[in-house]
Amino acid sequence: MSVPKSEYLSSVWAPGIFANRVVFVTGGAGTICSAQTRAMVHLGADACIIGRNPEKTEKAAKDIAKVRSGARVIGIGNVDVRNFDNLKAAAERCVKELGAIDFVIAGAAGNFIAPISGLSPNAFKTVIDIDTIGTFNTVKATIPYLIESAARNPNPNPNGLTGGRIISVSATFHYSGMPLQAHVSAAKAAVDSLMASVSLEYGPYGVTANVIAPGAIEGTEGMERLASSAVDKKKMTKAVPSGRWGSRRDIADATVYLFSDAGNYVNGTTLVVDGAGWRRQGGNDIGIDEGMEYPDFLFTGQISKNLKDGRKQKSKL
Ligand code: HXC
């Protein structure tokens, strides 16, 4: 069954803004990255999606190609981002078959829930290898093509077309720290830092490098792993100031923005797409008594009666 456009792209973008462009996506069969790829292909791009599982990757590529008549989407399986040679060969194949790599999404990631006491050194290293080293390998394997694309597409380009851009998909929980996620927090913090270095070293070649940091995104493998089915979802949703979990479309739209003519001067930054959720992930509410809940107390105007009020009782005037 085909995925409705409303699930992966909002209606504000002009058709063809990525015409004759190629996007290379690691983890492209996953829930978030397939939506990002679908959006790019819908707007004119061809795509190579990379994954470990050949059947899953090739099936996703065929499905994504359906979003636009004439779209070319190649699924390259048996590629583990931990193996640089695999990735380099995949990038070479992408350029040979589709002609270029204009955009890169470094999206492959690994995650599981475990306390530090339950993490073997190899378990910690595995997530660092997939997320951090995998992003480094993706940058190394594709940067020569991104530099070529940037040279073909001056920024800004009078014709409005773009190229030479890379984003990585990160997370937000390393901003405050999160129990049971020491390995992922360390890995994603390094990913953010690496992308800043990419912007510094390759910005002068015309390449832009940014990070998208999704919050809790509905229906993703990540959230299936992070939130058990028994979790009080209503409570989790209330903790997000925007009042809902994110959608895959939210992340795909952010991707389109950064890769488009509208994102020309955005470089070396992180676009957090989380409804302001990370700002509350510490859970350290102030002015709240037991039984008072965020955001309800804001609507009722209720503030804890047990707070010391520091205001002066009498005016000096
Ligand atoms: C403790 C665990 C573990 C667990 C694996 N390990 N699962 N330790 N608790 N639940 C340990 C193993 O015992 C082993 O250590 C080491 O990790 C490597 O395990 P392998 O199974 O050999 O690794 P591998 O086959 O390479 O698989 C990697 C994986 C797996 C990360 C463990 O889950 C995977 O392939 N994931 C890819 C898909 C995925 O995770 N998607 C979600 C991405 S979401 P020892 O010492 O025994 O050898 C995401 C979102 C983040 O990243 C942000 C969300 C907001």
The residue whose C-alpha atom lies closest to atom 5 belonging to ligand 1 is 123
Q: b/e map of 52-80 (b: 16 or more CB within 10 Å)?
A: beeeebbebbebbbebbeebbbbbbbebb
215, 216, 222, 225 alpha-carbon torsion, rounded to 10°: 130
**pTM exceeds 0.75:** yes
* Residue 231, pLDDT score: 67
Q: Atom of ligand 1 at shortest distance to CA of 110?
A: 40
Sketch the domain layout of the chain as residue ranges.
Answer: 15-275+284-307
Q: Is 158 helix (H, G, I), strand (E, B) or coil?
A: coil
Q: What is the CATH number of domain 15-275+284-307?
A: 3.40.50.720
* Residue 204, pLDDT score: 98
The residues annotated with a catalytic role in the active site are: 170, 188
In this predicted model, what pLDDT tens digit does every residue of 46-86 receive, in sequence order? 999 999 999 999 999 999 999 999 999 999 999 999 999 99
Task: State which residues of the chain have pLDDT below 50.
Answer: none
* Residue 132, pLDDT score: 98
In this predicted model, what pLDDT tens digit does every residue of 144-170 receive, in sequence order? 999 999 999 999 999 999 999 999 999
The residue whose C-alpha atom lies closest to atom 51 belonging to ligand 1 is 222
Q: Is the CB–ligand 1 distance for residue 111 below 6 Å?
A: yes
